[in-house]
């Protein structure tokens, strides 16, 4: 039943549709088409545009995903590895937040730059929060 319907569309209805289309013989004739003739051409033009896009799509440059990009853009780039050590006993306040998004202007201390980074990239990075136990 489904194949019969598809066959009928391809063999009978599609040729009838194409015969009724106001296809101009020259480029200049496109300018003389009426609004109703343009509206009748829209489905065919849409399908041709989609087929053209699907044909060239494999050859278009791929967009680099944010996941593949470098996280640390500018902090201590001269070092092979960035390591910051802080003794917990040296904490002056009860809570200290350290940056993990590498966007902080006060690195290694968090300045909440991760909020903007998360909005732009869809990431979910947040600070490392160290809490000093009060005895």
DSSP state of 31: T
pLDDT tens-place string over residues 54-104: 999 999 887 655 555 667 777 777 877 777 776 677 667 778 888 888 888
Residue identified by tokens 């990075």 is 125
For 13, residues 6+ apart whose C-beta sits below 8 A from its C-beta are: none
Helices (H), the chain: 2-8, 14-20, 27-30, 35-56, 113-121
- The per-residue pLDDT for 69 is 62
Residue identified by tokens 């160290």 is 130
| C-alpha span between 89 and 102 (Å, rounded) | 25
Residue 10 in this model has a pLDDT that exceeds 60 = yes
| C-alpha span between 129 and 96 (Å, rounded) | 6
Among 63, 80, 62, 60, CA closest to 72: 80
| C-alpha span between 66 and 6 (Å, rounded) | 43
User: In this structure, what token pair is assigned to residue 21?
Assistant: 């289309």
Contact 96, 130 (CB under 8 A): yes
- The per-residue pLDDT for 111 is 93
pLDDT tens-place string over residues 45-64: 999 999 999 999 999 887 65
User: In this structure, what token pair is assigned to residue 76?
Assistant: 């201590």
């Amino acid at each position: 039943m489904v194949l019969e319907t598809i066959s009928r569309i391809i063999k009978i209805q599609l040729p009838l549709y194409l015969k009724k289309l106001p296809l101009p013989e020259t480029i200049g004739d496109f300018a003389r088409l009426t609004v109703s003739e343009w509206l009748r051409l829209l489905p065919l033009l849409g399908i041709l545009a989609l087929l053209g896009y699907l044909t060239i799509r494999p050859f278009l440059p791929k967009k680099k995903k944010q996941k593949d990009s470098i996280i640390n853009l500018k902090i201590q780039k001269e070092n092979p590895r960035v390591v910051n050590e802080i003794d917990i006993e040296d904490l002056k306040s009860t809570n200290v937040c350290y940056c993990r998004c590498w966007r902080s202007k006060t690195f290694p201390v968090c300045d909440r730059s991760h909020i903007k980074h998360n909005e732009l990239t869809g990431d979910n990075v947040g600070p490392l929060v160290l809490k000093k136990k009060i005895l």
